[in-house]
Structures are given as C-alpha cells and as structure tokens.
Amino acid sequence: MEKQEKLKMAAPLVELDGDEMTRILWAWVKEYLIEPFVELKTEYYDLGLEERERTHDEITVRAAEAIKRHGVGVKCATITPNDERVKEYGLTEMYKSPNGTIRAILDGTVFRAPILAKGITPYIPTWRKPITIARHAYGDIYKNTETRVDKGASAALLVGGETLPIFNFKDTGGVVQGVHNTDESITSFARACFAYALSTKQDLWFGAKDTISKIYDRRFRDIFEDVYRAEYQDAFREAGLEYFYSLIDDVIARVIRSEGGFIWACKNYDGDVMSDMVATAYGSLAMMTSVLVSPHGWTEYEAAHGTVQRHYYKHKKGEPTSTNSVATIFAWSGALKKRAELDALPRLAAFAEAMELATLKTIEDGLMTGDLYAISRLEHKQQVSSETFLLEAAQRLSAIGY
Ligand code: NAP
Ligand code: MG
C-alpha cells in the first residue's frame, strides 16, 4: 500500500512525561506508533522527578493548568517520592503525588476499564465482561493533613466555632489525620458515574462504609441517591438499567461472584486499591485504561500502573526488559481520540482506533510481554522484549493501511 501523508492535528495534546521504565516506553510509543503516522502536536511538560525538583514541583501545577487550557492531557507514570526516593534523587522536599496534585486541580472521576484480549483469560472465570471502576479523584486521604502526635497531647477537630475531640494520647504517642470532601465534588462524581453508566448502557454499583462512617460516608450515599432520584431514575428505567447501593464489603463480595459488565463507583481510596485488584485479575496491571473526566469537561488519559522500577533498573544495566506498554499505548490512543472528537477529525479518530487494534492483534498473534506470556492460553505464544512488541505493533499498524 502506498505510504499515506501524515495525519494532521488541529490543537495540541498536553503531554506529561514521567519516570523510569514508563518514560522509556513513552518515548518508544511516540517514536514507533505515532510519529511515523501523525504530525504530532503536543505541549510538553516534563514531570520526571529531576524536573519536579528543579522547579520545586511548579511544573506539575503548570501542566494541570495547561490541561485546563487545551482540554486534553496524556500522562506518563511518575514516581511519588518516599524516603528512599528522596535519597536516590537528592530531593530537597518529599513532593506530593503528581496525580494527587493534578486531580485536586481538575477534580473529577477516574474511569478504569480492563483491556480484553483473546487468549488472556481473567483469573476469575465468571468475569466474562469488563468491570469498569469509576474512582472519585478528589479529596479523602489524597488531600489530607496528618501528623504524628506525642504522648500527652490530645487531638481535636476544629470546625467553624466547634471543637470535636478525636483522641487523648495520654498514655502513648500516635498519629492523626484530617480529611475532607465537598458536596460539590461528590455531586459531580455521582453525575459522572450515572452519565457514564447510561452512555455505556451498564448498571451502576456503589458501595461505601456508611454503617461505620455515619456522616462522612453517609453523605456520599445520600448525594448519590438524591442525584439519582432527581436526574437519572427515569432514564435508567427507560434503558433497563439499575442503580444499586450496598455496603462496600457486600459490593466487593458481589463483584467477585458477578459476571462483570457494570460500572463500579468507588470512593478515592477504594478505587485506588480495587482497580489494581481488578486489573490484575483481568490479566495484568498494564491491561487497563484510565481516564480522568473532570466535571468542567477536561480529560486526562494515563496508564493505571506505576513506573515499573524493577524493570527500569534492569534496563539501566543494559538488559532487555519485557515490560507491557499496552496501557501507555491506550493512554495515547484515548487522548488522540478525544482530541479528534473535540476538533472534528474523524481520520485521526480512526487512526487512534487502529493503534488499539494493531496492539491487540500483536497479542492475539501470540507476541506478548512477560506478564501476559505467564498467563496466556495461546498455544503459539512467544515472549518478546518491550521494544520488539512495539515494533511488531507498528508493523501491524502499517499493514492496516497507515
Ligand atoms: P508498578 O510500577 O506498578 O510495578 C509493580 C509491579 O507490577 C512491577 O514490578 C511488575 O511486576 C508489575 N508491572 C506493573 N506495570 C507493569 C507493566 N507495564 N509491565 C509489566 N509488569 C508490570 O508499582 P511500584 O513498583 O510499586 O511503583 C513504582 C513507582 O511507580 C513508585 O515510585 C510509585 O510512586 C509510582 N507509581 C506511579 C503511579 C502513576 O503515576 N500512575 C501509579 C502507581 C505507582 P514484576 O516486577 O513482577 O515484573
Ligand atoms: Mg493503585
């Protein structure tokens, strides 16, 4: 087939580069799968730890502000520093999680759905359809104030003029934290979930711990119920869909027994940990899409996994790695599709779709990274390196006609 002219973009994507192995994959995805076919336009922000240190994390805030300006961002995984990272990178501060900072600025809900490929079967055999996690991306422990408390001190919540005792540490020291959420953010979280469930024609499940947290978690339950009754009940009924609330414990038990095919709304922390469980159960942390949808209309696409540190140290020693780039590829394809939708560029949307098809075809042809090789039921499977996988996917993309 004759080589086509490169596809053009009308407006830039906000590109947020990151750390370690995912930074390496990031560059390869662009080099092999996008730039040969698209005249890629991005506004680039380097969220790698060195640049965050150099700018005292100002770069993270600037990147989030750029997403507000341009509407669509795509983010590489980044290190959230801990004590070891402070030493490793000689940091002057233990910077907060970039995702936390960005989500606090954009607000919204993170939707995470497994990427299904033939030959990769879920660990839970009844899960025949995808389970999409809708993670509230604002507040709770991700925007907390916490401190250690010395023996003898006592802690209280000070709200307006009221003082609510928390604990008197008279016999022993300990820890204390304050968390918050807002009615506005919870309401937009609820709306995002109902709207997404309707648009994808799936039931919505939500669970919280309102038996124990009778005010905080109860507020989430009540707001969901109010939003449902006032705005979505009729549309759900018409579409034959169900909104279902239960205690988080009960929801988890039902999720395991289910066949999938619904949206699972999760509070921030529940969504953080449960999306790792769900992704792993569907095959791999790297077989999951993740998109932050802000109530203001901004979106940010990312991979749900981390920077894959262990693989990066191998890579640095010059050893080939077999790191799965699928979530990173789908972050780019998702962002390109969104850009195409906003700018009315159907050919760009079709290309992004083809990127995904070519990626899945590579796996279904039996070429896959180690994480999938370990669980694939394909007979002619072969484990390939990170780079080989991308080159193979690029060949298949060319074969589709790009
Ligand atoms: P991780 O990077 O997700 O990796 C944990 C393990 O999961 C890896 O060692 C690997 O297992 C497997 N894995 C994850 N992604 C994989 C992929 N694409 N291909 C193949 N295997 C994959 O988590 P971590 O090692 O706990 O965290 C590393 C850094 O990432 C931390 O600094 C953390 O702060 C950061 N992090 C960032 C984000 C984000 O920006 N979205 C999210 C989470 C963590 P094997 O070693 O068994 O091969
Ligand atoms: Mg997590």
Q: Would the CA dihedral through 325, 331, 333, 334 be positive or negative?
A: positive
* Ligand lying closest to the C-alpha of residue 89: 1
Task: Report how far ligand 1's centroid is from the alpha carbon of 394 (Å).
Answer: 24
pLDDT at 3: 60
As a whole number of angstroms, the distance between CA 194 and CA 251 comes to 17
Domains of the chain: 7-110+285-346 (3.40.718.10), 124-144+179-282 (3.40.718.10)
Over range 390-401, report the average pLDDT. Answer: 96
CA distance 340 to 398: 20
For residue 174, list its beta bridge partners: 149
Helix (H, G, I), strand (E, B) or coil at 131: strand
Whole-number percent of the chain with pLDDT over 70: 99
Q: How far apart are CA 262 and CA 243, in angstroms?
A: 10
Question: What average pLDDT does the segment 352-370 reach?
Answer: 97
**Ligand whose nearest atom lies closest to the CA of 135:** 2
Percent of the chain topping pLDDT 90: 87
Helix/strand/coil (H/E/C) assignment for every residue in 244-269: EEEEHHHHHHHHHHCCCCEEEEECHH
pLDDT, residue 39, reads 97
Residues with Cβ within 8 Å of 205's Cβ and at least 6 positions away in sequence, in order, are 244, 245, 246, 251, 254, 255, 262, 263, 264, 265
Please compute Rg for the chain using Cα positions. Answer: 22
Pairing type for strands 174-178 and 145-149 reads antiparallel
What are 132-147's pLDDT values in tens digits? 999 998 999 998 999 9
Q: What is the mean pLDDT of residues 335-340?
A: 96
Specify the pLDDT at position 2: 53
Report residue 257 as tokens. 């027994």
Which residue type occupies 212?
I
Q: Answer yes or no: is pLDDT of 121 > 90.
A: no
383 in contact with ligand 1, CB cutoff 6 A: no
Helix, coil or strand: residue 349: helix
Cα of 272 from ligand 2 centre, angstroms: 4
Task: For residue 272, give the amino acid letter.
Answer: D
Protein residues with C-beta less than 5 angstroms from the ion ligand 2: 272, 276
Q: Whose CA is nearest to atom 45 of ligand 1?
A: 310
| Rounded Cα gap, residues 202 and 244, in angstroms | 12
DSSP secondary structure letter of residue 150: -
CA separation for the pair 179, 194 (Å, rounded): 25
Query: Using CA atoms, how far apart are residues 19 and 307, in angstroms rounded to an integer?
Result: 6
Q: Which of 269, 393, 239, 266 is nearest to 325 (CA)?
A: 393
Check pocket membership of 78 for ligand 1, CB cut-off 6 A: yes
Q: How far away, in angstroms, is 309 Cα from ligand 1 center? A: 6
Is the Cβ atom of 286 under 6 angstroms away from ligand 1?
A: yes
Note the pLDDT of residue 1.
47
Crossing angle of helices 309-316 and 20-28, rounded to 10°: 70
* Ligand 1 pocket check for 62: Cβ under 6 Å: no
Q: For ligand 1, is residue 99 a contact (CB within 6 Å)?
A: yes
Nearest to residue 112, comparing CAs of 250, 285, 239?
Answer: 285
Q: What pLDDT, on a 0 to 100 scale, did the predictor assign at position 216? A: 98
pLDDT single digits (tens) 246-274 = 999 999 999 999 999 999 999 999 999 99
Nearest ligand for residue 324 CA: 1
Looking at residue 338, its pLDDT comes to: 95
Instruction: Return the structure tokens found at 374.
Output: 């370990």
CA of 281 to the centre of ligand 2 (A): 14
Closest-lying ligand to the alpha carbon of 26?
Answer: 1
DSSP-based three-state secondary structure for 157: strand
| Average pLDDT score over residue span 342-369 | 97
| Mean pLDDT across the chain | 95
Candidate from 110, 289, 307 with most ligand 1 atoms within 8 A of CB, to mutate: 307
pLDDT digits (tens, 9 = 90+) for 25-64: 999 999 999 999 999 999 999 999 999 999 999 999 999 9
Q: What is the pLDDT of residues 221-240, one digit of tens each?
A: 999 999 999 999 999 999 99
The count of C-alpha atoms lying within 13 angstroms of the C-alpha of 342, restricted to the half-sphere facing its C-beta, is 18
35: CA distance to ligand 1 center in Å?
26
